[in-house]
């Protein structure tokens, strides 16, 4: 009897797992760290508010993430470290200071922030296993991003950084 219950349980679990939608889940490679995630929810949330956020950006001549040497040509071994730093940066600085008078926009920002928190937890597990080391190059690139951010007042910098989120998402999706 125990065997038949176990078989039924395994069969049910197998059917349930096969029935679950997995659309959009991709394994991202951040150096030695492999992180399963879906960009669909983050992208759709950002797309819904992108025009609104970018219209609030008062400084069009400066970029925080696109500055030469910021994210371009990051070594594969440094991708985990800089991604972890960027997730912390967005959660701790950008999302915290991006509040609008529009509840819909605020809900979308909150949803994106929650996705970043989840991704940050996954990368933290990798860091705890010493697989996510920070080299000099990733530290310098991240320091350049922070310097670009600190060159503006907090609110303007947060709005600009959120408006450039597609740059970060594109870079993350280009993981080797």
Average the pLDDT over 84-106 and give the result.
93
Q: Structural domain of residue 99, as residue ranges? A: 23-173
pTM, to two decimals = 0.80
Residue 66 lies in a domain: yes
Domain count, the chain: 1
Residue 162 predicted with pLDDT over 60? yes
| Position 11 in a domain | no
Q: Establish if 149 belongs to a structural domain.
A: yes
In a domain, 17, yes or no: no
Residue 30 within a domain:
yes
Q: Phi, psi (5° rounding) for residue 50?
A: -55, -50
Averaged pLDDT score across all residues of the chain: 82
Tell me, yes or no, whether 6 lies in a domain: no
- Kindly report the CATH number assigned to the domain that includes residue 89: 1.20.1250.10
Is 80 within 8 Å of 29 (Cβ atoms)? no
Q: What b/e sequence results for 20-55 when a residue is b if at least 16 CB atoms lie within 10 Å of its CB, and e otherwise?
A: eeeeeeeebebbebebebebeebbebbeebbeebee
Q: For position 27, what pLDDT does the model report?
A: 84
Could you report the per-residue pLDDT of 37-66, keeping only the tens digit for each? 888 989 999 999 999 999 999 888 888 987
Residue 79 has pLDDT above 60, yes or no: yes
Mean local confidence (pLDDT), 81-101? 92
**4 within domain boundaries:** no
Residue 3 maps to a domain: no
């Amino acid at each position: 009897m125990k065997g038949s219950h176990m078989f039924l349980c395994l069969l049910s679990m197998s059917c349930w797992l096969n029935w679950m939608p997995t659309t959009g889940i991709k394994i991202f490679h951040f150096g030695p760290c492999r992180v399963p995630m879906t960009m669909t929810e983050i992208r759709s949330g950002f797309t819904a508010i992108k025009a609104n956020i970018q219209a609030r950006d008062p400084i069009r001549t400066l970029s925080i993430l696109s500055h030469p040497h910021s994210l371009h040509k990051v070594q594969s071994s440094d991708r985990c470290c800089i991604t972890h730093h960027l997730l912390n940066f967005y959660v701790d600085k950008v999302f915290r200071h991006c509040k609008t008078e529009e509840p819909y926009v605020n809900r979308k920002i909150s949803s994106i922030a929650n996705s970043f928190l989840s991704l940050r937890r996954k990368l933290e597990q990798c860091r705890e296993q010493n697989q996510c080391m920070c080299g000099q190059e990733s530290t310098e690139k991240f320091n350049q991003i922070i310097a670009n951010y600190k060159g503006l007042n907090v609110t303007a910098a947060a709005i600009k950084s959120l408006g450039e989120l597609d740059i970060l998402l594109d870079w993350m999706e280009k993981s080797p």
